[in-house]
Structure 1
Amino acid sequence: MLAGAMAALCLLLIGPSAPSGAPVAKPLPADAATDVVPNRVMTWNICNPCNRSGQNLGRAMEIATYAPQVVGLQEACVRDVEKIREYLQNFYGLVYHVEYGSVLRNWGRCGGWPWRPGGFGQAILSAAPMTDRVTVEYPDGGSEDRGYMAVTTTVSGRSVRVFNTHLAQRRQEAVRADQIGVLAAEVARHDRAIVLGDFNSVPDAPELSRMWPLAADADPQCRPSPAGACEPTTDWYSKFDYVFLRGIAPLAHRVHASPYSDHHLLYADLGAT
């Protein structure tokens, strides 16, 4: 009886044994980060619904490979983010705080009971604590409710305001222009800010014209002109994902395609003001 009780407790705590389908972490690449990189920030639209096998463990592995100080996730279900955080800690030893910017409760996207659907929107993971969280739903979300969230946290040992947003889907340029107006007005209040997100706009799109005077892309070669050399961040070879920096200098950046989303991971290493 004691052995049976202990086995049941183990199943409750860690799930079924590996042969029954329990998650098994893959080893990280040889050049993976060994600990959180304090001046690194990442943005990633993790795709929903994608329903790839083992996607949350795969997402955790991708994040752990680069181990940023701050991660902004879009199209994030609360349940998915909880699993990602669990895997990051249990398999890779990375502990992140989390804040959510859910603007939609959607059973079709995030599961849950029909009368209690899961939260859907943005999330920010941070190795340092976060304060002063706000979640703002745009007055017009377009074809689906959209918004931004913001927190204050520490990057490179300094306090900074971090924004995370997801703008209206493609072919809704006028809606995105209004959304960027709302976001830009708040970003402009801060001398130091990092703006992460899926803007659903290429760099020279007219609706992005409110952002470029406020903040620069983490890639110094990426500019709002046809001559700008901007790396694609999606499977359809468009740049929709951005790390905008206000009052902060970029050091390096990388775009990494992932099998767990139709958007690529984009991270930036940051310098001083």
Structure 2
Amino acid sequence: MVLGRGTGLFVGAMAVACMMLVGPSAPGGGLFGSSRPAAAVRDVVPNRVMTWNICNPCEEGNVDRAAEIARYAPQVIGLQEACVRDVEKIRDHLERLHGLVYHVQYGMVLRDRGRCGGWPWSPGAFGQAVLSAAPMTDRVSVEYPDGGSEDRGYVAVTTTVGGRPVRVFNTHLAQRRQEAVRADQVGVLAAAVGRHDRAIVLGDFNAVPDAPELTRIWAQAADTDPRCRPSSTGTCEVTTDWHSKFDYVFLRGIAPLEHRVQPTPYSDHHMLYTDVDPS
């Protein structure tokens, strides 16, 4: 059947209208294969770093976790209690839903099906992850000689914060009531941090600021909050639902500008981020 010119224009207009009503069918979620709508594209805050224990096992969605991170759009994020599959999904949601593109490096210390799913012969990997909007190099993943009741460690990378290179560490220390174990872990971490003139140390230390086991890290770096010190006279904001400060952004050779502790319904740890002056 041959259509007249007017009929052909009508059919073409209807096809476009149907595409607009039905929406895109490309795998990336956008018309003609676009990965995200142009309106969603945004930039990270180039001098902002964040630490967040995302809670595991917890029944929280990675879409919600990504949305929480996107609210503050840090240059660098250190996640603890992270499964590789969850981090992959969080990174994907950050890009597709919020226009934030991150590289990722892992410091996994456990292969645990109970925490991270997977098949019995291929359980999911569990530990720390670092997301950075800038590329990362010189990754080192260290498992502490004694993890306590569960394997623990740190991951370190070199990346760019505020336009300058910096060594970033992300760690999770032994669980509470294991002070001696944490003291040994801090010794390993502090020795590595001390080899760098400029470093940022993120993580869940499972200890309050004046805990004796944190002495060696305090000797190498300062908390991002100038009021928070390892003494009874310090004033430190709590970072957990049980009203303790366990989460830290330690700075070595870098000045803090301002910080924020943000409670979230998606973890028993609050989000802690800070803007820094890398100069």
TMscore range, shorter length: 0.7 to 0.9
Residue 247, structure 1, aligned to residue 249, structure 2? no
Residue 229, structure 1, aligned to residue 235, structure 2? yes
Aligned to 2:47: 39
> Tell me, what secondary structure is at the counterpart of 1:135?
strand
Can you give the 5+ residue segments of structure 1 that lack an aligned partner in the other structure?
1-6, 15-27
TM-score (norm: length of structure 1)? 0.88
How many residues end up aligned between the 2 structures?
247
- Distance, in Å, in 2 between the alignment partners of 1:34 and 1:176 is 39
Residue 127, structure 1, aligned to residue 133, structure 2? yes
Residue 214, structure 1, aligned to residue 220, structure 2? yes
- Distance, in Å, in 2 between the alignment partners of 1:123 and 1:159 is 19
> Tell me, what secondary structure is at the counterpart of 2:218?
coil
Work out which of the residue numbers 178, 182, 195 in structure 1 matches 2:184.
178
Aligned to 1:258: 264
Give matches, 1:73-222, under 5 Å.
73-222=79-228
> Tell me, what secondary structure is at the counterpart of 1:57?
helix
Larger radius of gyration: 2
Q: What per-residue deviation string (whole Å, max 9, x for no partner) do you get for residues 72-121 of structure 1? A: 00000000001100110000000000001101100000001011001100
- Measured after TM superposition, the shift of residue 213 of structure 1 is 1.4
Q: Is the 8 A contact 2:47 2:278 kept in 1?
A: no
- Distance, in Å, in 1 between the alignment partners of 2:136 and 2:101 is 13
TM-score (norm: length of structure 2)? 0.86
Percent identical residues: 76
Can you give the 5+ residue segments of structure 2 that lack an aligned partner in the other structure?
1-21, 30-39
- Measured after TM superposition, the shift of residue 13 of structure 1 is 5.9
- Measured after TM superposition, the shift of residue 35 of structure 1 is 2.3
- Distance, in Å, in 2 between the alignment partners of 1:270 and 1:165 is 20
Q: Is the 8 A contact 2:91 2:102 kept in 1?
A: yes
- Distance, in Å, in 2 between the alignment partners of 1:218 and 1:13 is 39
Aligned to 1:61: 67
